[in-house]
Amino acid sequence: MAALNAGVLAPDFTLPTVQGGQVSLREALAKGPVVLVFFKVSCPVCQYALPFLERVFQSNGAANVTVLGISQDKARDTKDFMREYGVTFPVALDDPAKYAVSNAYGLTNVPTIFYLAPSGAIEVSSVGWSKADVEAIHQKLAEHREQPPAPLWRKGEDIQDFRAG
- For residue 34, give its domain range: 14-147
Residue 22 has pLDDT above 60, yes or no: yes
Edge-to-edge order in the sheet of strand 112-116: 91-93, 66-71, 34-39, 112-116, 122-127
| Distance, CA of 132 to CA of 24 (rounded, Å) | 28
Can you tell me the mean pLDDT for 132-141? 97
149 contacts 65 by C-beta, under 8 angstroms: no
Residue 2 has pLDDT above 60, yes or no: no
DSSP state, residue 159:
-
- Give the count of domains, the chain: 1
48 inside domain: yes
Q: Which pLDDT tens digit goes with each residue over 150-164?
A: 999 999 999 999 999
45 contacts 53 by C-beta, under 8 angstroms: no
Can you tell me the mean pLDDT for 43-61? 95
Looking up residue 131, the CATH number of its domain turns out to be 3.40.30.10
3 inside domain: no
Q: What percent of the chain has pLDDT over 70?
A: 98
Full DSSP string of 114-138: EEE-TTSBEEEEEESEEHHHHHHHH
pTM: 0.96
